[in-house]
Structures are given as C-alpha cells and as structure tokens.
Chain A
Amino acid sequence: MTQSFRLENVGLINRNKKLSFKFNGKVYYGYEGDTLASALIANGVHLVGRSFKYHRPRGFFGAGVDEPYAIVQLYRNGETEPNIKATEQELFEGLEATSVNCWPSVNFDIGAINNFLKIFLPAGFYYKTFMWPKSFWFKVYEPFIRKAAGLGVASTKHDKERYEHKYEYCDLLITGSGPSGLASAYAAAKNGARVILAEDKSRFGGTLLTSEVNIGNQSGKEWAESLISELKEMPNVTVKNRSQVFGYYDHNMLVMSERISDHLPKTKKFHPKQRLWYIRAKEVLISSGSIERPIVFGNNDTPGVMLSSAAKEYLKVYGVLVGKNPLIFTNNDSGYETAIEFQKNGVNPIILDTRKDPKSEIVDEAKNLGINIKFSYVVVAAQGYKKVKSADIAKISEDKEQLGAIENIKCDCICVSGFWTPTIHLASQSGNKTKFKEDIDAFVPGTSKQNETTLGAANGTYTLEETLKNSFEAGYKLSKEITKNDNKISFPNVIEKKSTVHDKFWCVPLPKGKNYKRFLDFQNDVAVSDIEIALKEGYRSIEHVKRYTTLGMATDQGKTSNLNGLQLVSKIENKVVPAVGHTTFRPPYTPVSIGAIVGREVGKHSKPTRKSPMHSWHEKNNAVFVDAGVWLRPRYYKQGNESLFEGSKREAKNVRTNVGVCDVTTLGKIDIKGPDAAELLNRVYTNAWLKLPVGKARYGVMLREDGIVMDDGTTTRISENHYHMTTTTAQAANVLSHLEYYLQLVWPELNVNVVSTTEQWAGAAIAGPKSRELLQKLFPKSDVSNEGLPFMGYMEGDLFGVKARIFRISFSGELAYEVNVESDNGYFMWEKIMEVGQEFKIQPYGTEALSTLRIEMGHVAGSELDGRTIPYDNSLEGLLSKKKDFIGKRSLNRKAFTAEDRQKVVGVVPLDKKTSIPEGSHLVKDSNAPLPNPKLGYISASCWSVEYDNPFSLAIVKDGKNMIGKKLFVMSPLKNKVIPVEIVSSHYVDPKGERVRS
C-alpha cells in the first residue's frame, strides 16, 4: 500500500528512513519521525478501533496526549502493552499494533449491535442493567462485559524491561517546551538558575512547530531550535523530551515519566525502558499549553471528524493530509489557519464559520486565498459509517436556535475548532483554586497554593507576543529571587497574525425529526442525551454526573470533553459554568505504566536482602533459606532428599541429645552506655534492673504504653555503665526508635546513649547437653564450668586469637551459650565451632528446629507476642515488678486485662498423638455446634515435639489457667480439619527449667 495521503517536501519526518510496520496484521510503511497515527493516516487508514460502549467505529481525533479514540494494543520485542495512544506512539521498524474493543474484527464487530440497541444503554447503564438478578452477574453479565468491553489486554508475562527512579532537585521546573516554556527556561537559565525543561513529545517547540509566526527574524520553528540547542549546552539546564510531568504533589514535588526506549524497536542493553523522576522544584512554571475543544454535532464521532489543530499538525509536522476534501467547522480563527495550510498545499477546503461576520487578518488571508467560506453555517451531522463521506450542513439563526434548510456536501474529513481549553491539570493538582475566564469560556489557574506559576495558553493567554513577554519576565524574576543574579536578556521582535474573538457557540441543535447521537465524551460514548438523563434522574453535582455517565473518565480523562459537558449541565440547570464547577483534577495527567511506578523494586529487589557473615558457609552446606524480615536465614540444612520436616526433626533431636549450633546474628543488638543506663532499663523493662551485677545477663519484657507486649530479649551488663541489649529479629528497628523516643522526648534528663550494633556482631548459639564440653575446647583458657560461668552469666574469651563475648543464655531450653565475635570474624568463629564440635557430633540447626525447640519448651516468641497480648497472656506475669513503675504498667489494670477468664498461653496435644495441628486453627468446645461456633482461642505455633515424638502446639485460650486437662476440638475450616485435643501446660518439656541450669 502506498502512502497516498503523504505530501512531498512537507513536514519534519526523516524521509531517508522508511519504516515498515503492521496494523491488524497488514503491512504498511511510514517514516522515521512518524507516530503510529500519522503513518496510518498517511496510508489512508482511519478506522482504528471501536468505541467502548456502542462499539461505533473509531478513528483519530487528536494528534497527541488528548486523543480519546486511537487506543491500540502494542507489540514490541516479544511483549505486549495495552492502551497505547497511536497519536503518541512513535513509529519504529517492525512495530505491530492491533485494534482494541473489537471482536472478531475492526471491520465486523459483534459489539456494534449495542449501537442499534443504544436506546437500552443510556446513562448509568452499568448501574441499572447489570444489577439484577444477582445470579446473572457471574454467569452472564461479567463474561459478556469482559468479552465485549475493556480497553486492551494486559500481558500476563513477567515484564523483563527495566524501569528506573531518579530523584532530582532544581530551581525551576518548566513543563512544556512551547513558546512560554522555552522563553521562561531561557530567561531563567541565562540568569544562572538550575532549570529542568520537560517536553512530553519527541520534538521540542510545541505550537511553534505548526504556527506561522516570526520571532527575532526567525520562523517559530527555527527560533525554538536555536534556543533548545543553546539550552542543551548549558551546564545548569536539563532538557528532556518524551517526558511527561504528570503529577503535582505536596511541597513542590512533581513526578515525571520519561519514555526512554518506547520509540525504539528494542530497549538498548543496560538502558531502562522508562524512568520516573521525582523532582523537588523551588518554583514550577506550568507551560502546558491548551487543548482545542470540539463543537458538538450529530454523529460527531464518525472517523474523519477531528480537531482542526490536529489536522494542521499532521500536515505541518508529518506531511500528512487527513483528507483531500476537507471541511473546516469553526467558531474562531484557529480553523482558518488549518484551512490556509490545506489551501497552500493544493487542497481546497470549505470553511463553515458559526460567526456572522468576523474581521481579522487571518480571515482576510483566507478570503484572499480564495477559500470557500460559509458564515453563520454549522455542520448538523456527519454522514458515513466507517469514515466521513459527506456532511449535512445548515445555516443557523443569529440566536443559534434555528437551523435553515439542510444541505448535503461531500467531504472526507471534518476539522473542528471550538476554541481552546487551557491545560490547567498540574496547577489544579497543586491546590490552585481555578477561576472561570468568561472571554475564553474556560477555567484558568487562580490563586497559587504552592510555588507555581502558569504561563501562556495554559493561563488563557492566546497571543504569542503576550505569552513570550510574560514568560521571559517570569523566568527572569523567579530566577533572580533564587540566584540573586540580574542578567536580563532582551526581548525579541514578534510578528504574528492578529485574530478576533471567538463565538461562544458549542453545540449544534438537533434538526426537527432527527435523533442524531451528539457525543460529548468520545472515549466513553457519553452523548448529550446521557447527560440530560442523568440530570433528569436527579444528579446535580458535577462529580456525580461524571461517575454516573462516565463523562471524562478512562485513559484520556476527558481532555476534550470536560468543558462541553460543563456547558451542557450549566445550560440545562440554568446556571453559569463556574457555578457548576469542574471535577477534581487528580494525578496522573496521562496514564503511567505500572512498571515505571514500581521501578527497580521488583522481585528480590522489592526489599533489601541482609545476610549474616556466615551466609556463604550455610550456602555451601545445603541450607534451605527462609525470609526472616529482610534477613535470609537457614531454615534447615538439607541432607540428601530430606524434607523440611525430616531435616528439622533431625537437627532438633541432635540439640536435645548432643549439641547444635545456630546462626543468631539476626537478633537485634543495641549498645547502651551511660551513667543512667540501668535506670533506663528499669523503666523500659517490666522487671527490676537496678541490681543486675556486672557480668550478668537478665531476661526482660518490654511493653507499649497500652500494656501490650512489645518485645523480649536478654540484656547483659558488660561493665558498670555499659549494657548489651538483644531484641527479636523482627522488632530490632522498632525497639531502637522506642528507646530513642523516651530518651529524647520523655526523659531527656537520663544520661544514656543507645546505638544499634546488630551488624557489628556475628552470633552463634551453641545448645545441647554437650555444649559445655565444646565450649571448654573452644575457650581452653576460660573457666566455663557451671560455677565459672553460671546460667545467665557473661564473660569475655579468646577464641583462637579472636576476642569473643560468651553469654550463657538459652532459647532452646537446653544447656546453651551464645558466642558473639566482631562480624568480620563470624565466618572464622563458625568454622572453628564446627571443626571442634566434630567430636561431639555437632550439627548446625536452622530456624525450623529452633522453633521446635522453643515451642516444646513453652517459650513465647513472635507468634505469641503478636501485638495483641499482654504479659499475663504469655505467662510472663511473674516478670512484672510490683515495686516500680515502668512503661505500660498503668494500662495493665484495665478491666479486660484483669478479667477472671483472661486468655492465656497453653499447650495443645492431639488425642491421637499423630495429627499435626495447623497454625491459626481455632479451639472450640463442641465441633458440631451450630455456627457461629464460639471460639475459645487459637493455635499460635505448632511443631513436632522431638522429646515425645508427637505433635505439640501452643495456643492462646480464654481462661487458659483453668483449661489444663480439658478436652477440646481444634477446627481449621481452611484445611478442612477437626482434631480432638487435650490442653496441657505450655511447658511441655523440662517444666522446671533444670536443663538450662545444669
């Protein structure tokens, strides 16, 4: 197929580079510099999809970000992406795209039957139609909607592309590189400010690329090019194309999405596909321009009806004619500019102007060129189904109510201009209270809330000279305040054609006896009649009307439809537009890919991974790892084909019979120093700390102020004013913050310093009946006998030349020690323990065996100290000092906490001594009781007791203290299990705690 709508020698595309691409399976050709839209139009393709609701044929409406129609499914480098705007997607060699919203094909679409049933699909049709009967939802409605509606298909594959995040700071962020953006960026940059200039499109210059103006004896395009190349060379300026600033957040933080590789067939090696910029700007200059708005008329959604500015852009930037027999329908001078461009390129347009007798330089030029202009004329309806074939036109009365006789004229496109809507999204997102500007029928930014200034067309300034003047001034003034420089550049001479006022006309009345659909929102098929129905049904707030009718929703967010929607509501309601108000603008301004938002924090990178100094040893010895917070810990060390159950049982048994070693580096460690350290501990922990001797450790429990257990651990007095605190792995960071809170805010009089030393120490727990023998061999110079190093004792030792701390503490309930060395010596320590431990049949054990050991001993841990339990619940009430006050103490006498039948931790054994009990199961009295069956408690932790070789669990049960010996049922509806159990003491093994003291 030839590019029969391509002009020769016009446009900014690179004709030396021809590109092939596929649309709906068919091969076409375009040029480098094309968008998918411009290339398709060059090939005469105007049917690109089907509309969302009625499945009416869809073509192109715009040429950029405002596009409501041309949404395609894109295929690139083996990946697919939905909801791509053909008007934004740059062409690359081998690009493939397909239509969305059509099934089985764009030319024959079964959903289009909706178009004939449209009487049944009015406003709020989702709410009404699919509500009843309820049973129809899953079987009938949802599959139907899923098949026939939706915009494209998301890929189910893992996205192998890379996305990056970048944080940046600047003096001035300027959004948009049209005349105002360029002028303010240039003025500020020349005055020494750090400037970021962001342009959404691939080409800089905005409207300067398409308008016939002269700045400083250069064409607009040349002027833009010279400024951009100068800005690019300046070290204080960052110039970015393909970059959309889409969100304006608190404290002048803006987010910008940069499309780095989307225009290439394949992302270059080591390059990201997209980059998300978080920019903190001292000042923001919004020069996002304006978007042309349509005039509403019958069948105004027919392919071939498009914005007149888009037609001009296709012509001047891409050298593409959107039609060879164009009809221009306008209420202002902009339409004339498009008509003049057609005329200059040998295509004769017809202009229908709703105005009676406009007088301006542009109108005169069109007249002089001999263009056929019909004043006080309107398009009543477009004719043609898949493409405009002709237009029904008529003269309109001065009051714009009466139509004259309908005439039909041939045309292949209708270029519409209903004047301009400033793009105020960013200003509004920043909290700016917008105001309605009568003379342009649109909202413009009002009072700034943050440091933001809106310039040029985005501020409703539609002449070039004024825009440039304001923007040079703003760039200079704002930069001067920041840099204190005073380098003002001179203002260039500007020549532009003067235009006259627009006609406030926006909607063509229906001719008698005709019932044409007149669309307001082209993406969601919202017609004038839908809004009328919504208002008739009592919807008043514009926010409600939006949601009921879907006006202004979906991927284009109503960029072309919002104002006409407001005009209609205000007309029916007999209110002025500002009284109706506009819906809230929320980020993002344009759709942003999820990949860009997530950035590199995917999979394993979603959080940092922390490894102990012994990690590589664990790896070499077949450790199976488990995530413990951000740490990777060995769960068990696999031997042969051993399962987790078998392996952990073997490891736990070896601890009970010989000796085991466990990597406990991950435990939180806090170094506490200062003359008031003991006093701090005494206030933070529930038990007494003032009399702990040097060289002794003590177990402690700390509460939150609400009485709930926060954490537990041992703290050792290293020297007079020096303590070593340990916390659980999970709570390490919170406990440090907690201590800092009290030291800095509540008791600043305490002279204490705290610092995390978690990473400074590598820790190994050595546990089992043979642990002392092993320890003696590891520290031959130290007396580690029961007398020399009693339970809860501490000493320093020499581990083959390495300084070590030895604590006699136990989590497993066995005779046990913990050895700490500086992290760098961790691997050495571990190897020595394994080497020397050989003769005692030492085995390393992982977290699973560790859990088994602590559960059968009845030691509470994270699954019991879960942020919902008080000391009593965990049988820790013996640790509550009666003599002193401590954090959270006052809360413990709350009624619920002191109730006679308060929950308490207990042990649970299945009656058959065989069935494992799923964690999280509920305990009930009667398994056959009708629902809701009263729950007595829940299983917090389960293991296979290696001591008794049967399952054992811990549970938190109501009235736990009176439950021992009772027979209950464990129910797990999730696992479909009912298990008869007996409640026993939580201290299942060695209830007197003799082993740790042996």
Chain B
Amino acid sequence: MLYIKCPHCGWRSQNEFSYGGDATVKRPKLGKEVTDQEWDDFVYNRKSLRGKHWELWQHLSGCRQWIKVERDTATHEIFKTLKASEEIS
C-alpha cells in the first residue's frame, strides 16, 4: 500500500485516496473548436508509460483535495506531490 504525502494533510496511506489518471492532460477550453484528434487525445489517448508519471489523486477520505503525484509506475516510488494549484515543473 502506497504512502502518499498529501500537501495539505501530510503522510497518509493509499486507502484514503482515489486515483484520478494522468495529471498532464489539459482539458481544452470550453467553447474552443478542437479537432477530433485533439479531443480524442484529451478523452482517450494515454501513454500508459513505464517510469516517472505525474498523476492525479484525490484525498477522498481526508481533505478532499485533488493533488498531483509524481510516481514511478514500475517501482511505485513517489518523488513529489503538489497541490492542485501548483504547476508541474
């Protein structure tokens, strides 16, 4: 079970969180014309990569904040966590 440092609450076990997918995906602006390819890339297409991956988690049974977590998908090592408002660097 992963041990995740919520930027708001501190260290908490994985069972307090729920997974939210790739954190680097940006939703196209509302009302903006987008091509099918752009839309598919937003809704469906994911890299499913092995290695370092920025992903979203929600601290569901805690502060309910969505957070960004940089995790290695193979080793499960967590390098960094950010608040929703913080930009991935």
A residues sitting closer than 8 Å to B (CB atoms) are 167, 249-253, 278, 280, 431, 449, 683, 705-706, 737, 740-741, 744-746, 748, 884-886, 890-891
Tell me, yes or no, whether B66 is within 8 Å of chain A by CB: yes
Contact for A740 among B1, B2, B58, B78, CB less than 8 A: B58
Distance from B60 Cβ to chain A, minimum over Cβ atoms (Å): 7
A-B interface, 4 closest residue pairs, ranked by CB to CB distance from nearest: A251-B3, A744-B84, A885-B30, A885-B31
Contact (Cβ within 8 A) A891 B43: yes
Contact (Cβ within 8 A) B76 A251: yes
Contact (Cβ within 8 A) B18 A745: no
Contact (Cβ within 8 A) A431 B60: no
Distance from B80 Cβ to chain A, minimum over Cβ atoms (Å): 15
Contact (Cβ within 8 A) A683 B66: no
Contact (Cβ within 8 A) A890 B3: no
CB-CB under 8 A from A741, the residues of chain B are 20, 58, 66
Q: How far is the CA of A884 from the CA of B27 in the complex (A)?
A: 16
Contact (Cβ within 8 A) B43 A706: yes
Contact (Cβ within 8 A) B84 A253: no
Distance from A686 Cβ to chain B, minimum over Cβ atoms (Å): 13
What does the 1/0 interface line of B64-82 toward A look like (CB < 8 Å)? 1110000000011010000
Pairs across A and B, CB under 8 Å, 9 listed = A251-B1, A251-B78, A253-B1, A280-B3, A431-B75, A745-B56, A885-B30, A890-B28, A890-B39
Distance from B9 Cβ to chain A, minimum over Cβ atoms (Å): 15
CB-CB under 8 A from B44, the residues of chain A are 706
Apart from A706-B44, A740-B65, list 16 A-B contacts with CB within 8 A. Answer: A250-B1, A251-B76, A253-B3, A253-B13, A278-B1, A280-B3, A705-B27, A705-B43, A706-B43, A737-B58, A741-B20, A741-B58, A746-B27, A748-B85, A884-B31, A886-B30
Q: How far is the CA of A398 from the CA of B27 in the complex (A)?
A: 76
Kindly identify, within residues 13 to 28 of chain B, every residue whose CB is under 8 Å from any CB belonging to chain A: 13, 18, 20, 27-28
CB-CB under 8 A from A278, the residues of chain B are 1
Given A250-B2, A706-B43, A890-B39; A745-B76 close (CB under 8 Å): no
What does the 1/0 interface line of B2-15 toward A look like (CB < 8 Å)? 11000000000100
Contact (Cβ within 8 A) A745 B84: yes
Residue of B nearest to A756 (CB): B64
Contact for B42 among A249, A705, A748, CB less than 8 A: A705
Q: How far is the CA of A167 from the CA of B3 in the complex (A)?
A: 13
CB-CB under 8 A from A891, the residues of chain B are 39, 43
CB-CB under 8 A from B85, the residues of chain A are 744, 748
Contact (Cβ within 8 A) B66 A740: yes
Interface of B is mostly: loop
Distance from A15 Cβ to chain B, minimum over Cβ atoms (Å): 46
Q: How far is the CA of A278 from the CA of B84 in the complex (A)?
A: 30
Residue of A nearest to B66 (CB): A744
CB-CB under 8 A from A253, the residues of chain B are 1, 3, 13
Q: How far is the CA of A890 from the CA of B75 in the complex (A)?
A: 37
Contact for B1 among A249, A744, A885, CB less than 8 A: A249
Please, how many residues of chain B have a CB less than 8 angstroms from a CB on the other chain? 26
CB-CB under 8 A from A706, the residues of chain B are 43-44
Residue of B nearest to A741 (CB): B66
Contact (Cβ within 8 A) B2 A251: yes
Q: How far is the CA of A110 from the CA of B68 in the complex (A)?
A: 63
Residue of B nearest to A895 (CB): B36
Residue of B nearest to A742 (CB): B27
Contact (Cβ within 8 A) B76 A250: yes
Distance from A215 Cβ to chain B, minimum over Cβ atoms (Å): 37
CB-CB under 8 A from A250, the residues of chain B are 1-3, 76
Distance from A630 Cβ to chain B, minimum over Cβ atoms (Å): 14
Contact for A744 among B39, B43, B60, B65, CB less than 8 A: B65
Distance from B83 Cβ to chain A, minimum over Cβ atoms (Å): 9
Distance from B27 Cβ to chain A, minimum over Cβ atoms (Å): 5
Contact for A890 among B20, B34, B60, B84, CB less than 8 A: B34
Q: How far is the CA of A705 from the CA of B43 in the complex (A)?
A: 7
Contact (Cβ within 8 A) A740 B64: yes
Contact (Cβ within 8 A) B60 A683: no
Q: How far is the CA of A945 from the CA of B40 in the complex (A)?
A: 43
Q: How far is the CA of A683 from the CA of B30 in the complex (A)?
A: 8
Q: How far is the CA of A249 from the CA of B31 in the complex (A)?
A: 46
Q: How far is the CA of A302 from the CA of B63 in the complex (A)?
A: 62
CB-CB under 8 A from A449, the residues of chain B are 75
CB-CB under 8 A from A683, the residues of chain B are 30
Distance from B39 Cβ to chain A, minimum over Cβ atoms (Å): 5
Residue of B nearest to A707 (CB): B43
Residue of B nearest to A737 (CB): B58
Distance from A166 Cβ to chain B, minimum over Cβ atoms (Å): 13
Given A251-B76, A280-B13, A745-B66; A737-B60 close (CB under 8 Å): yes
Q: How far is the CA of A767 from the CA of B58 in the complex (A)?
A: 39
Contact for B3 among A252, A740, A884, CB less than 8 A: A252
Residue of B nearest to A890 (CB): B39
CB-CB under 8 A from B2, the residues of chain A are 250-251
Residue of A nearest to B28 (CB): A890
CB-CB under 8 A from B60, the residues of chain A are 737
CB-CB under 8 A from B20, the residues of chain A are 741
Distance from A167 Cβ to chain B, minimum over Cβ atoms (Å): 8
Q: How far is the CA of A705 from the CA of B30 in the complex (A)?
A: 12
Q: How far is the CA of A280 from the CA of B13 in the complex (A)?
A: 9
Residue of A nearest to B4 (CB): A251
Residue of A nearest to B38 (CB): A890
